[in-house]
Amino acid sequence: MKNTNLIQDNINNLTDFWKTVGTPFLSYHKNDTFEYCKIENSGWPNKLWLRKDITKKDLPDIIKTMQSNSGLVLPHWDIFGTKSFEILEVYGFSLKTEQIAMALQLNEKFKLEHQLSFKKIDNEQDAKIWSELYPNAFGYVISKEILIQHYTNVHFYLVSNEDQPIGTFMLFQTGKTIGIHGVGVIPEMRRKGFAEEIMKFALNLAIDLKADYALLQASAMGKDIYTRLGFQDLFVIKNYILKAE
Protein backbone atom coordinates (compact mmCIF):
# COMPACT_ATOMS: atom_id res chain seq x y z
CA MET A 1 0.00 0.00 0.00
CA LYS A 2 1.50 3.36 -1.05
CA ASN A 3 0.89 5.15 2.21
CA THR A 4 2.19 8.56 1.15
CA ASN A 5 -0.14 8.75 -1.83
CA LEU A 6 -3.07 7.35 0.15
CA ILE A 7 -2.54 9.87 2.96
CA GLN A 8 -2.85 12.70 0.45
CA ASP A 9 -5.74 10.96 -1.32
CA ASN A 10 -7.58 10.66 1.99
CA ILE A 11 -7.17 14.36 2.81
CA ASN A 12 -8.04 15.38 -0.76
CA ASN A 13 -11.21 13.28 -0.85
CA LEU A 14 -12.40 14.64 2.47
CA THR A 15 -11.64 18.30 1.78
CA ASP A 16 -12.89 18.16 -1.83
CA PHE A 17 -16.13 16.73 -0.44
CA TRP A 18 -16.50 19.70 1.93
CA LYS A 19 -15.64 22.15 -0.85
CA THR A 20 -18.07 20.52 -3.31
CA VAL A 21 -20.90 20.55 -0.80
CA GLY A 22 -20.31 24.15 0.29
CA THR A 23 -19.81 25.82 -3.09
CA PRO A 24 -23.48 25.98 -4.27
CA PHE A 25 -24.41 27.68 -0.98
CA LEU A 26 -21.60 30.26 -1.40
CA SER A 27 -20.26 28.80 1.84
CA TYR A 28 -16.76 27.77 0.69
CA HIS A 29 -13.95 30.29 1.20
CA LYS A 30 -10.20 30.17 0.62
CA ASN A 31 -7.19 32.37 1.39
CA ASP A 32 -3.42 31.85 1.26
CA THR A 33 -3.36 29.97 4.57
CA PHE A 34 -6.56 27.98 4.93
CA GLU A 35 -9.96 27.06 3.51
CA TYR A 36 -13.29 26.84 5.29
CA CYS A 37 -16.90 25.87 4.71
CA LYS A 38 -19.78 26.97 6.94
CA ILE A 39 -23.32 26.14 5.78
CA GLU A 40 -26.11 27.84 7.70
CA ASN A 41 -28.77 25.60 9.28
CA SER A 42 -26.55 22.54 8.93
CA GLY A 43 -24.17 20.91 11.39
CA TRP A 44 -21.90 19.76 8.55
CA PRO A 45 -19.36 20.19 7.06
CA ASN A 46 -18.50 23.44 8.96
CA LYS A 47 -14.76 22.89 8.87
CA LEU A 48 -11.63 25.07 8.57
CA TRP A 49 -8.58 23.27 7.20
CA LEU A 50 -4.98 23.82 6.08
CA ARG A 51 -3.03 22.16 3.28
CA LYS A 52 0.23 22.48 5.25
CA ASP A 53 1.45 22.14 8.81
CA ILE A 54 0.10 24.74 11.20
CA THR A 55 2.39 27.42 12.69
CA LYS A 56 1.95 30.15 15.32
CA LYS A 57 1.75 32.89 12.69
CA ASP A 58 -1.33 31.22 11.16
CA LEU A 59 -3.29 31.39 14.40
CA PRO A 60 -4.54 35.02 14.58
CA ASP A 61 -6.36 34.76 11.24
CA ILE A 62 -7.67 31.26 12.04
CA ILE A 63 -8.96 32.33 15.45
CA LYS A 64 -10.60 35.45 14.01
CA THR A 65 -12.37 33.41 11.32
CA MET A 66 -13.55 30.77 13.80
CA GLN A 67 -14.83 33.41 16.21
CA SER A 68 -16.90 35.05 13.47
CA ASN A 69 -18.20 31.69 12.15
CA SER A 70 -19.49 29.82 15.18
CA GLY A 71 -19.43 26.04 14.98
CA LEU A 72 -16.34 25.70 12.78
CA VAL A 73 -14.10 22.72 13.57
CA LEU A 74 -10.37 22.66 12.72
CA PRO A 75 -9.09 19.20 11.72
CA HIS A 76 -5.38 18.72 12.40
CA TRP A 77 -3.74 16.13 10.13
CA ASP A 78 -1.07 14.41 12.23
CA ILE A 79 1.19 13.69 9.24
CA PHE A 80 4.09 16.14 9.62
CA GLY A 81 5.87 14.59 12.60
CA THR A 82 5.96 17.93 14.41
CA LYS A 83 3.28 17.66 17.14
CA SER A 84 2.04 21.03 15.92
CA PHE A 85 -1.35 20.24 17.50
CA GLU A 86 0.32 21.26 20.78
CA ILE A 87 0.32 24.87 19.47
CA LEU A 88 -3.47 24.71 19.18
CA GLU A 89 -3.81 23.45 22.74
CA VAL A 90 -1.67 26.34 24.06
CA TYR A 91 -3.63 28.98 22.10
CA GLY A 92 -7.15 28.30 23.30
CA PHE A 93 -8.31 25.28 21.30
CA SER A 94 -9.78 22.13 22.79
CA LEU A 95 -9.95 18.65 21.30
CA LYS A 96 -13.49 17.77 20.27
CA THR A 97 -13.05 14.37 18.62
CA GLU A 98 -10.32 12.15 17.22
CA GLN A 99 -10.46 9.95 14.13
CA ILE A 100 -8.23 7.51 12.29
CA ALA A 101 -7.86 7.98 8.53
CA MET A 102 -7.95 4.54 6.87
CA ALA A 103 -7.70 2.96 3.42
CA LEU A 104 -8.62 -0.34 1.78
CA GLN A 105 -7.53 -1.65 -1.61
CA LEU A 106 -10.64 -2.86 -3.41
CA ASN A 107 -10.51 -6.37 -4.82
CA GLU A 108 -13.27 -8.94 -4.40
CA LYS A 109 -16.82 -8.10 -3.47
CA PHE A 110 -18.19 -8.91 -0.04
CA LYS A 111 -21.05 -11.34 0.55
CA LEU A 112 -24.09 -9.68 2.14
CA GLU A 113 -25.69 -11.51 5.08
CA HIS A 114 -28.71 -9.42 6.14
CA GLN A 115 -31.76 -8.53 4.09
CA LEU A 116 -31.29 -4.77 4.28
CA SER A 117 -32.58 -2.54 1.50
CA PHE A 118 -30.60 0.38 0.09
CA LYS A 119 -32.11 3.39 -1.66
CA LYS A 120 -30.12 6.06 -3.49
CA ILE A 121 -31.57 9.47 -2.70
CA ASP A 122 -32.83 11.28 -5.81
CA ASN A 123 -35.90 13.23 -4.71
CA GLU A 124 -36.92 15.74 -2.05
CA GLN A 125 -39.19 13.38 -0.10
CA ASP A 126 -36.42 10.81 0.41
CA ALA A 127 -33.91 13.58 1.14
CA LYS A 128 -36.19 14.72 3.97
CA ILE A 129 -36.38 11.20 5.43
CA TRP A 130 -32.58 10.86 5.19
CA SER A 131 -31.89 14.24 6.81
CA GLU A 132 -34.33 13.54 9.65
CA LEU A 133 -32.79 10.13 10.36
CA TYR A 134 -29.14 11.24 10.21
CA PRO A 135 -29.07 13.23 13.51
CA ASN A 136 -30.40 10.18 15.39
CA ALA A 137 -27.20 8.35 14.44
CA PHE A 138 -24.71 11.21 14.62
CA GLY A 139 -26.13 13.94 16.82
CA TYR A 140 -25.90 16.73 14.23
CA VAL A 141 -27.89 17.81 11.20
CA ILE A 142 -27.13 17.54 7.48
CA SER A 143 -29.86 19.62 5.88
CA LYS A 144 -32.01 18.14 3.14
CA GLU A 145 -31.02 21.11 0.92
CA ILE A 146 -27.48 19.70 0.79
CA LEU A 147 -28.79 16.39 -0.55
CA ILE A 148 -31.05 18.11 -3.07
CA GLN A 149 -28.09 20.12 -4.43
CA HIS A 150 -25.85 17.09 -4.86
CA TYR A 151 -27.83 14.08 -6.15
CA THR A 152 -25.52 13.84 -9.17
CA ASN A 153 -22.03 14.17 -7.63
CA VAL A 154 -22.58 12.51 -4.22
CA HIS A 155 -24.14 9.10 -3.59
CA PHE A 156 -26.49 9.50 -0.61
CA TYR A 157 -28.06 6.23 0.53
CA LEU A 158 -30.89 5.48 2.94
CA VAL A 159 -30.75 2.02 4.54
CA SER A 160 -33.87 0.21 5.71
CA ASN A 161 -34.65 -3.00 7.56
CA GLU A 162 -38.12 -4.44 6.89
CA ASP A 163 -39.19 -1.10 5.37
CA GLN A 164 -38.05 0.80 8.48
CA PRO A 165 -35.26 3.37 7.82
CA ILE A 166 -32.35 2.56 10.13
CA GLY A 167 -29.19 4.05 8.66
CA THR A 168 -27.29 6.19 6.17
CA PHE A 169 -24.09 6.47 4.20
CA MET A 170 -22.51 8.73 1.58
CA LEU A 171 -19.97 8.02 -1.18
CA PHE A 172 -17.84 10.72 -2.77
CA GLN A 173 -15.51 9.78 -5.63
CA THR A 174 -12.26 11.53 -6.52
CA GLY A 175 -10.52 9.83 -9.42
CA LYS A 176 -9.84 6.19 -8.57
CA THR A 177 -10.59 6.62 -4.88
CA ILE A 178 -13.94 6.68 -3.09
CA GLY A 179 -14.53 8.19 0.31
CA ILE A 180 -17.12 6.46 2.47
CA HIS A 181 -18.73 8.98 4.81
CA GLY A 182 -21.63 9.21 7.25
CA VAL A 183 -22.06 5.49 7.85
CA GLY A 184 -24.50 5.45 10.74
CA VAL A 185 -27.20 3.33 12.34
CA ILE A 186 -29.80 4.71 14.75
CA PRO A 187 -29.07 3.71 18.39
CA GLU A 188 -31.96 1.28 18.82
CA MET A 189 -30.79 -0.79 15.80
CA ARG A 190 -27.12 -1.07 16.77
CA ARG A 191 -25.28 -4.26 17.73
CA LYS A 192 -27.14 -6.29 15.11
CA GLY A 193 -24.38 -6.33 12.47
CA PHE A 194 -26.10 -3.69 10.34
CA ALA A 195 -23.19 -1.20 10.27
CA GLU A 196 -20.85 -3.87 8.92
CA GLU A 197 -23.45 -4.89 6.33
CA ILE A 198 -23.81 -1.26 5.23
CA MET A 199 -20.04 -1.02 4.85
CA LYS A 200 -19.94 -4.18 2.74
CA PHE A 201 -22.66 -2.83 0.45
CA ALA A 202 -20.82 0.51 0.17
CA LEU A 203 -17.55 -1.24 -0.69
CA ASN A 204 -19.26 -3.39 -3.33
CA LEU A 205 -20.74 -0.21 -4.79
CA ALA A 206 -17.27 1.38 -4.84
CA ILE A 207 -16.02 -1.60 -6.84
CA ASP A 208 -18.92 -1.15 -9.29
CA LEU A 209 -17.84 2.50 -9.64
CA LYS A 210 -14.36 1.31 -10.73
CA ALA A 211 -12.52 2.65 -7.68
CA ASP A 212 -9.16 1.17 -6.67
CA TYR A 213 -9.24 2.28 -3.03
CA ALA A 214 -11.86 3.07 -0.41
CA LEU A 215 -11.01 5.77 2.11
CA LEU A 216 -12.64 6.81 5.38
CA GLN A 217 -12.11 8.53 8.71
CA ALA A 218 -13.04 6.23 11.58
CA SER A 219 -14.36 7.08 15.00
CA ALA A 220 -13.40 4.88 17.93
CA MET A 221 -16.88 3.31 17.74
CA GLY A 222 -16.52 2.21 14.12
CA LYS A 223 -12.83 1.37 13.85
CA ASP A 224 -13.08 -2.32 14.78
CA ILE A 225 -15.53 -2.94 11.95
CA TYR A 226 -13.27 -1.29 9.38
CA THR A 227 -10.18 -3.14 10.60
CA ARG A 228 -12.09 -6.42 10.37
CA LEU A 229 -12.98 -5.60 6.76
CA GLY A 230 -9.29 -5.07 5.93
CA PHE A 231 -8.82 -1.31 6.23
CA GLN A 232 -5.36 -0.11 7.27
CA ASP A 233 -4.54 2.91 9.42
CA LEU A 234 -2.98 5.93 7.69
CA PHE A 235 -2.87 8.80 10.22
CA VAL A 236 -4.68 10.47 13.11
CA ILE A 237 -7.06 13.42 12.69
CA LYS A 238 -7.54 15.58 15.78
CA ASN A 239 -10.61 17.83 15.50
CA TYR A 240 -10.34 21.08 17.46
CA ILE A 241 -12.80 23.78 18.46
CA LEU A 242 -12.17 27.15 20.10
CA LYS A 243 -12.75 27.08 23.84
CA ALA A 244 -15.71 29.19 24.92
CA GLU A 245 -14.59 32.49 26.38
pLDDT band at 116 (very low <50, low <70, confident <90, very high): very high
* Alpha carbons 52 and 21: distance in angstroms, whole number: 22
**Beta carbons within 10 angstroms of residue 241's beta carbon:** 17
* Alpha carbons 166 and 197: distance in angstroms, whole number: 12
Helix (H) or strand (E) holding 65: helix 59-68
Q: Half-sphere exposure (CA, 13 Å, Cβ side) for 162?
A: 1
Give the predicted TM-score (pTM) of the model.
0.94
58 and 85 Cβ atoms separated by less than 8 Å: no
pLDDT band at 113 (very low <50, low <70, confident <90, very high): confident
Give the pLDDT confidence score for residue 154 in this predicted structure: 96
pLDDT band at 1 (very low <50, low <70, confident <90, very high): very low
pLDDT digits (tens, 9 = 90+) for 180-233: 999 999 999 998 999 999 999 999 999 999 999 999 999 988 899 999 999 999
Find the mean pLDDT for residues 107-113: 93
Which of 8, 65, 5 is closest to 33 using CA atoms? 65
Mean pLDDT value across the chain: 94
pLDDT at 244 over 80: no
pLDDT at 67 over 80: yes
Q: Strand 213-218 relative to strand 28-30: parallel, antiparallel, unpaired? A: unpaired
pLDDT at 132 over 70: yes
Which of 24, 17, 19 is closest to 34 using CA atoms? 19
pLDDT digits (tens, 9 = 90+) for 88-109: 999 999 999 999 999 999 999 9
pLDDT digits (tens, 9 = 90+) for 148-187: 999 999 999 999 999 999 999 999 999 999 999 999 999 9
Amino acid identity at 36: Y
Give the pLDDT confidence score for residue 226 in this predicted structure: 96
* Alpha carbons 107 and 191: distance in angstroms, whole number: 27
